[in-house]
Amino acid sequence: MSSPSPSPPPRLEVQNLMRRFDGQAVVDDVSFSIPAGQVTCLLGPSGCGKSTTLRIIAGVDMQDQGRIFVDGNLVCDTVFRIPPERRAIGLMFQDFALFPHLSVAENVAFGLSGPASQKRARVADLLERVHLIKHIDSFPHALSGGEQQRVALARALAPRPRILLMDEPFSGLDERLRDGIRDETLGLLKEEGTAVLLVTHEPHEAMRMADEILLMRAGRIVQRGAPYNLYNAPVDRAAAAFFSDVNVIKGRVQSALTPTPFGDFFAPGHADGTEVDIVIRPQHLKIDFDRAGRGPNPTVQDGTPARGVVERARFIGRESLVEFRMDYDGSVLRATVPNVFLPKPGTAMWLMLRRDRCFVFPA
Ligand code: ADP
Ligand code: MG
């Protein structure tokens, strides 16, 4: 048997990146790597340092500390720096920035070198794959937003960059078109096998596109992993709340348990007396239809039901959002229920929490 070959270095490796503006760390000790063929999303609220990170990798801004490698080769540290045009890194930004005076074909061919016949073939192949071959001789102004976005994608991929950096590439598009264009873009990125770093502030977009998500807050990466892990095992209350609306039930730990109106919750690792937040997404609140009106009758899995009164119910497409005013402390909890469920305001109902879907964090 042959010995296993050493695994190749990651396409992109970022080590301990730091960038300060006016003494303030805007990118604060950021490290990650992306293998070829993987889409990584840098996700976080506006102003958290995503674009700055991208600009440093592209070479249009410079870090105060840290190093960047492409395929194991140093691209820049704080003294050595390969210029942007020699990094084999493709860029795609929100404003597609097509050249208005060049045709679609000329736009896509812009960064290509080599024999004209080869360039023509590459351009035609990419335009075929983004379904724009019939517009090969059109000018950008004659295309819709979605079509321009696909031209920009073809242009960015044409020189076969080792890494493609995308900064909010779909945010200029009509919401109705976005999911279709995201899926199509993802298909092409996967075919090309390039490593992709996509910046977005939209969790839905990150979940739809990413193999791995880097969740960023105030310059730091606070959690990383597959979309499933970030959604189902958030590191803190803010990480949970970034992906959906959440309900919070307050509690205080007593002998490793937190008593609440919904029964006792385990709070391993939290000292007695610690104030905790029990966090649950609206789709994981259960309405106990069977027991409505019959009073509490606890089950092991779902704990103790607590009574609340419907304050408001709205159909929001695919599901209904029901707000309850809870008897125990007058707080509001929101539950989503599949399809149409619109109980009248004032209706009393019993709610339960799915234990396996609750997160317990220190308050
Ligand atoms: P994001 O892309 O996540 O919205 P940015 O990376 O663009 O965030 O910006 C992060 C922070 O750095 C913001 O507070 C922004 O105002 C600040 N910033 C960005 N570029 C500069 C600059 N050239 N000079 C000073 N502050 C900057
Ligand atoms: Mg930005």
**Which residues line ligand 1 at a C-beta cut-off of 6 Å?**
21, 26, 44, 46-52
Nearest ligand, measured from the Cα of 93: 2
Q: Which atom of ligand 1 is nearest to the CA of 61?
A: 23
Residue 167 shares a structural domain with residue 32 = yes
- The DSSP code sequence of 242-304 is HHS--EEEEEE-BTTEEEETTEEEE-TT--TT-EEEEEE-GGGEEE-TTTTTT----BTTTB-
Out of 46, 52, 60, 198, give the residue to mutate to test ligand 1, the one with the largest number of ligand atoms within 8 Å of its CB: 52
Atom of ligand 1 nearest to the CA of 45: 3
> Sorting pLDDT into bands at 50, 70 and 90, what band is 175?
confident
Q: At what angle do helices 145-157 and 116-129 cross, to 10 degrees?
A: 140
If asked whether residues 228 and 263 sit together in one domain, one would say: no
Helix/strand/coil percent split, the chain, to 5: 25, 35, 40
Could you tell me if 34 and 158 lie in one domain?
yes
DSSP state of 153: H
| 219 in any annotated domain | yes
Protein residue with least CA distance to atom 22, ligand 1 = 21
Q: Which ligand is nearest to the CA of 167?
A: 2
Give me the number of domains the chain comprises. 2
User: How far is C-alpha 139 from the chain's CA centre?
Assistant: 33
**What is the residue with the minimal CA distance to atom 11 of ligand 1?**
47
**Residue 6 belongs to some domain of the structure:** no
Given 180, 214, 239, the domain boundary residue is 239
Report if residue 2 sits inside a domain: no
* Ligand 2 mean position, distance from CA 82 (Å): 23
pLDDT band at 128 (very low <50, low <70, confident <90, very high): very high
Average pLDDT value over all residues in the chain: 92
pLDDT at 339 exceeding the cut of 90 = yes
Residues 65 and 174 in one domain: yes
Which residue, 233, 162, 240, 156, is CA-closest to 203?
Answer: 240
Last residue of a domain, one of 190, 223, 239: 239
Report residue 74 as tokens.
Answer: 């140093």
Residue 179 falls within a domain, yes or no?
Answer: yes
Same structural domain, 117 and 260 = no
Residues 232 and 268 in one domain: no
Q: For the chain, where are the E strands, in sequence order?
A: 12-21, 24-34, 39-43, 65-70, 73-76, 89-92, 163-167, 195-200, 212-217, 220-225, 247-252, 257-260, 263-266, 275-280, 285-287, 306-315, 319-326, 332-338, 348-353, 359-362
How many residues make up the chain in this entry?
363
Of residues 94 and 84, more confidence is placed in 84
Nearest CA to ligand 1 atom 21: 21
Residue 255 contacts by C-beta under 8 Å, 6 or more apart in sequence?
272
Q: What is the pLDDT of residues 275-302, one digit of tens each?
A: 999 999 999 999 987 765 455 555 556 6
Same domain, 227 and 280: no
18, 20, 21: residue to mutate for ligand 1 pocket, most atoms within 8 A of CB: 21
The verdict on residue 92 lying in a domain is: yes
Q: Which residue is it, tokens 């003494």?
A: 23
4 assigned to some structural domain: no
Q: Whose CA is nearest to atom 7 of ligand 1?
A: 51
Q: How far apart are CA 61 and CA 231, in angstroms?
A: 32
C-alpha dihedral (330, 332, 335, 341), degrees to nearest 10 = 80
**Is 287 in contact with 349 (CB distance < 8 Å)?**
yes
Residue 42: CATH number of its domain: 3.40.50.300
Identify whether 5 is part of a domain.
no
Q: Does 28 map to a domain?
A: yes
Q: Provide the domain limits for residue 291.
A: 245-362
Angle, CA of 296, 298 and 304, to the nearest 5°: 75
Find the 149 Cα to ligand 1 centroid distance in Å.
25
What global pTM score does this model have?
0.91
**Residues 65 and 141 occupy one common structural domain:** yes
**Ligand 1 atom closest to Cα of 219?**
10
Residue 35 and residue 153 in one domain: yes
Contact partners, residue 204, CB within 8 Å, separation at least 6: none
By the 8 A CB rule, do 41 and 206 touch?
A: yes
**Atom 16 (ligand 1) nearest CA:** 47
Q: Say how far residue 211 (Cα) sits from the centre of its chain.
A: 10
Q: Assign residue 340 the CATH number of its domain.
A: 2.40.50.140
- The fraction of the chain above a pLDDT of 90, given in percent, is 79
Residue whose CA is at the smallest distance from ligand 1 atom 1: 47
Which one of 196, 216, 239 terminates a domain? 239
